[in-house]
Amino acid sequence: MKKVYDCEIIKHKEIAPCIFMMEVLSEEIVCSALAGQFVSIYLNKGEMLLPRPISICDIDKDKGTLKLIYGVVGKGTAELAAFKTGEVLKVLGPVGNGFKIEDTIKKHIVIGGGIGTPPLIELVKQLKGKVEVFLGFAKDSILEERFKELGATVYVATEDGSMGIKGNVIDLLEQINPDGDMIYSCGPKGMLRAVDLWGREKGIKTQVSLEERMACGIGACVGCTCKTKKKNEEDWQNRRVCKDGPVFWGEEVVW
């Protein structure tokens, strides 16, 4: 039987304005977690009922910990940010399907936008071969150094030009014009759509990690659906981001 685990918070700090890194202890979740999956955190504290879906950033099998990086975007994540080191959270996971990693692929293009960047860390840890990472932020970049530590080449774009090139991640891709066999991407929907289009023009298969407002987080309520193609744009079906995703092939998504 699956269950909601009690996980102790080992570390919790603000790493950039309104962006928090939380490390939780859970050997049960760690032993089966994959890059691109997420966990649902139950706040069970105040007015918010629904669990918060937070992507898994970094899995440490030796320590039995998960690193989660999240942005404070509303009341729920603000409540989460108030938890202190040593407190225990109720966590369900790992949830969903992660990125598809094939050992035959040697050249990887990894594209992150804003708070969609964290799950790409665990992905890059597991990719073998040449990895180029393209990151787009409004202002402050996060995790750039961590990607470099993992051996990836990192390119950054910021909208205000404070770091890297001035512009968005698509501007960056067009400027660098990388070559690869697979694209992995997580970020805002508009960016993912543009990445999918760019990948199609280049003839590179693209995986996108989608986000949607969720209720149950386990596939029962069908609250978090996205449209995917059966045969074409007109012949589509709803699929659950939590259970069937969050990673989909870009070509199957009806944007």
Partner 1 sequence: MKKVNMKINIAGVELENPVMTASGTFGSGKEYGEYIDLSELGAVVVKGVASTPWKGNPSPRIAETYGGMLNSVGLQNPGIKEFIKEDIPFLKQYDTKIIVNIAGRTVEEYCEVVEALGDTDIDLLELNISCPNVKEGGVCFGTDPFMVEEVTKEVKKVAKQPLIVKLTPNVTDIVPIAKAAVKGGADALSLINTLLGMKIDIHRRKPVLANRMGGFSGPAIKPVAVRMVHQVAEAVDVPIIGMGGIMTGEDAIEFILAGATGVAVGTANFADPTATIKVIEGIENYLLEYGFENIEELRGNLLG
Contact 80, 87 (CB under 8 A): no
Sign, Cα dihedral of 40, 43, 48, 54: negative
The residues that touch partner 1, with contacts defined as CB under 8 A, are 1-4, 42, 44, 47-51, 75-76, 92, 212-226, 237-238, 243
CB of 4 to partner 1, least distance (A): 7
Q: Which is closer to partner 1, CB of 156 or CB of 226?
A: 226
Q: Which is closer to partner 1, CB of 85 or CB of 238?
A: 238
Q: Which is closer to partner 1, CB of 75 or CB of 139?
A: 75
CB of 226 to partner 1, least distance (A): 7
Q: Which is closer to partner 1, CB of 4 or CB of 101?
A: 4
Q: Which is closer to partner 1, CB of 85 or CB of 237?
A: 237
Q: From CA 121, how far away is CA 138, in angstroms rounded?
A: 19
Q: From CA 242, how far away is CA 225, in angstroms rounded?
A: 8
Q: H-helix or E-strand containing 81?
A: helix 75-81
Q: Which residues pair with 53 in a beta bridge?
A: 40
CB of 213 to partner 1, least distance (A): 4
Does residue 30 sit in helix, strand or coil? helix
Q: From CA 221, how far away is CA 240, in angstroms rounded?
A: 9
Q: Which is closer to partner 1, CB of 72 or CB of 173?
A: 72
Q: From CA 61, how far away is CA 64, in angstroms rounded?
A: 5
Contact 65, 25 (CB under 8 A): yes
CB of 95 to partner 1, least distance (A): 11
CB of 222 to partner 1, least distance (A): 5
CB of 54 to partner 1, least distance (A): 15
